[in-house]
């Protein structure tokens, strides 16, 4: 029978490292927090190969003496707290005293530090938890920490790391969070010798957001400030109608600590319920402040999750505050909200009721679907083409370009004629559902889902054939991105330019959209590009499998390409059914929604209790 024994410090540190140091970004997080707790006003972070080979964090904080530097490498040694009661009034990022010994136990760890008033600094080298040397060194006041060969003592952990690009994205995201949390501290981030961003000390949060996320993002935000007894909320939030497809730009801080709080996130989403369509997320950089005793930050090893003493009170306060600010903006009519498909609401065509952006000169139908899926008429004379499009004779391919056309006689995926089902048209319900009578019962057809399926298969075939028509813009559209999105776009420029786009780099984190695919309105180009980059960041558009990436691009494009008018006739709906059943998968939309549902006689009899 095994006897109970006390683990050695080395084993205990490696166990702790398994909880605290999940990936390279966790190392950067812990060391940046230590630098901020040390009063640093300048922090430089450098990493190579996604943090596997090198992570260097250098600051100008108050540094440490020789004895403190050695003591900091012992477990549960910290200068942040002394008694249990201090946990109720935390004013620092770190407090457990586990980070440094945990990091040193699974890497080659070098620390150089010097405090003010000391003539020399101290250098400590630890390799895999074993102290190699302690000696004097020369350096300015502050601390420099280098972590190399991460997980060299536990190679099994290295196998669980993702690709260098993924790990690098996590590190960049982590540094950005703390740069936002402390605008008064200058941050520099260097990846593989390339400066990702360099932000000097900023007087306001807005300046820091402009430095990191770009001026276009900063200009779409408005200030938020609200206060109640014991609670305070401030920061910047997006104007009504401005949303993103992911939550990457919905960032919350609790007492200046970046956290993942379901309470605060859902409160923000709920506040924008009437200002954004379903599936869109608000822009938000908000700071929530409360009594430290009212929030517990010691519920997760990484301290990213927090627990509030009164969750309903916090949630209702945030919702009230954000709703009040949104109502104030709504009263001034600052911006019309986006429609459900992510497009800005605009004027409607007088004949079809279809939305069209300003400057658009009418539309043309797809094959036999007259008035059913209206798109641009790009083969009109030059004077009536949207001013964003290049004029014929200017070297642009747009003058001879025609958008994807569905033939009058649709062909099935196998090349034979597709027989449309014998459905008798009855009418249209709620604008989007067509009702048909069949021999077996009734059918309800979702017009949008059906159109998306038709568009998806046509665009997918174009993408695979490499025959994607595009239209050059007379005035290129400028786009400013944050560093992560910029890196993602640079890595995928060739892919996008081969599928109808023409995007050129125009400076650090600046790009120009010079041409767009034929199915896209120029006004939709920037929002679609941002949504597509969000999908790349989430991994929903794969990097390595080009065929799957094309399919996902076609799926996103089909949702944007469809424009449904309010009114539609029987002939258009019959044509839509014919085209739908000519596709390979007529039963579902590209997103997996059913294109139609059927109620047979048995189901109808059951519903009416016959």
Half-sphere exposure of 160 (CA within 13 A, CB side): 11
CA separation, residue 315 to residues 46, 318, 319, 359, 590 (Å): 38, 5, 6, 43, 36
For residue 151, the SS3 value is: coil
**For 60-69, 178-187, 339-348, 361-370, which range has the lowest pLDDT when averaged over its residues?**
361-370
What count of residues does the chain have? 610
pLDDT tens digits, 8-26: 766 666 655 555 688 899 9
Give yes or no for residue 574 having a pLDDT over 50.
yes
Q: Taking 50 as the threshold, does the pLDDT of residue 68 lie above it?
A: yes
pLDDT interval class at 487 (50, 70, 90): confident
The burial of 119, by beta-carbon neighbours within 10 Å (0-12 exposed, 13-18 middle, 19 or more buried), is given as: exposed
pLDDT mean over 191-207? 90
Q: Pick the more confident residue, 359 or 52.
A: 52
**DSSP 8-state secondary structure symbol assigned to residue 373:** S
d(CA 272, CA 275): 5
| Largest separation between any pair of C-alpha atoms in the chain | 96
Q: Is the pLDDT of residue 94 over 50?
A: yes
Q: pLDDT per residue over 385-428, tens digit each? A: 333 334 333 333 333 333 334 444 455 444 444 566 788 888 88
Q: What are the chain's domains?
A: 9-202 (3.30.565.10), 220-332 (3.30.230.10), 363-597 (3.30.1370.100)
User: What's the chain's average pLDDT?
Assistant: 79
Measured distance CA(255)–CA(234) in Å, rounded: 11
86, 88, 92, 95 alpha-carbon torsion, rounded to 10°: 60
Distances (CA, A) of 90 to 293, 405, 424: 8, 64, 71
């Amino acid at each position: 029978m095994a006897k109970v024994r006390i683990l050695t410090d080395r084993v205990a540190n490696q166990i702790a490292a398994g909880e605290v140091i999940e990936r390279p970004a966790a190392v950067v997080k812990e060391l940046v927090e230590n630098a901020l707790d040390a009063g640093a006003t300048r922090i430089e972070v450098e990493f190579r190969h996604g943090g596997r080979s090198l992570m260097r964090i250098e600051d100008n904080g108050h540094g440490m003496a020789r004895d403190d530097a050695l003591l900091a490498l012992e477990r549960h040694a910290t200068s942040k707290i002394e008694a249990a009661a201090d946990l109720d009034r935390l004013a620092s990022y770190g407090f457990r005293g586990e980070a440094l010994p945990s990091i040193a136990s699974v890497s080659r760890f070098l620390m150089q530090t010097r405090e003010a008033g000391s003539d020399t600094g101290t250098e400590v080298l630890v390799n895999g938890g074993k102290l190699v040397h302690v000696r004097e060194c020369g350096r300015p006041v502050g601390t420099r920490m280098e972590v190399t060969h991460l997980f060299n003592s536990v190679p099994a952990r290295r196998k669980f790391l993702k690709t260098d690009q993924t790990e690098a994205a996590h590190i960049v995201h982590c540094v950005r969070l703390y740069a936002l949390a402390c605008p008064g501290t200058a941050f520099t981030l260097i990846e593989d010798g390339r400066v990702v961003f360099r932000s000097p000390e900023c007087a306001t949060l807005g300046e820091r957001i402009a430095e990191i996320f770009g001026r276009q993002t900063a200009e779409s935000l408005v200030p938020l400030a609200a206060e109640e007894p014991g609670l305070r909320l401030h920061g910047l939030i997006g104007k009504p109608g401005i949303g993103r497809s992911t939550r990457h730009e919905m960032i919350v801080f609790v007492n200046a600590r970046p956290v993942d709080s379901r309470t605060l996130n859902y409160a923000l989403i709920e506040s924008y319920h009437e200002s954004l369509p379903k599936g869109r997320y608000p822009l938000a950089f908000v700071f929530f402040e409360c009594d430290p005793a009212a929030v517990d930050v010691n519920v997760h090893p990484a301290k990213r999750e927090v627990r509030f003493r009164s969750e309903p009170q916090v949630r209702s306060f945030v919702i009230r505050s954000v709703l009040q600010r949104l109502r104030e903006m709504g009263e001034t009519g600052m911006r019309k909200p986006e429609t459900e498909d992510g497009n800005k609401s605009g004027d409607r065509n007088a004949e079809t009721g279809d939305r069209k952006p300003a400057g658009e000169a009418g539309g043309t139908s797809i094959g036999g679907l007259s008035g059913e899926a209206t798109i641009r008429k790009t083969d009109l004379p030059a004077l009536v083409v949207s001013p964003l499009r290049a004029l014929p004779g200017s070297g642009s391919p747009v003058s001879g370009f025609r958008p994807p056309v569905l033939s009058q006689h649709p062909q099935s995926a196998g090349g034979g004629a597709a027989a449309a089902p014998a459905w008798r048209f009855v009418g249209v319900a709620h604008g989007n559902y067509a009702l048909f009578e069949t021999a077996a019962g009734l059918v309800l057809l979702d017009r949008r889902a059906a159109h998306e399926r038709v568009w998806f298969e046509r665009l997918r075939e174009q993408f695979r054939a490499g025959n994607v028509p595009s239209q050059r813009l007379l005035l290129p559209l400028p786009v400013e991105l944050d560093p992560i999105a910029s890196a993602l776009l640079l890595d995928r420029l060739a892919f996008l330019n081969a599928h109808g786009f023409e995007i050129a780099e125009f400076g650090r984190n600046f790009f120009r959209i010079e041409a767009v695919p034929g199915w896209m309105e120029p006004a939709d180009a920037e929002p679609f590009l941002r949504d597509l980059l969000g999908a790349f960041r989430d991994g929903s558009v794969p990097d390595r499998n080009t065929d799957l990436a094309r399919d996902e691009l076609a799926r996103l494009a089909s949702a944007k390409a469809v424009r449904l008018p309010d009114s539609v006739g029987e002939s258009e709906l019959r044509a839509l059914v014919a085209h739908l059943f000519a596709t390979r998968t007529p039963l579902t939309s590209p997103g997996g929604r059913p294109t139609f549902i059927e109620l047979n006689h048995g189901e109808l009899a059951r519903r009416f209790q016959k």
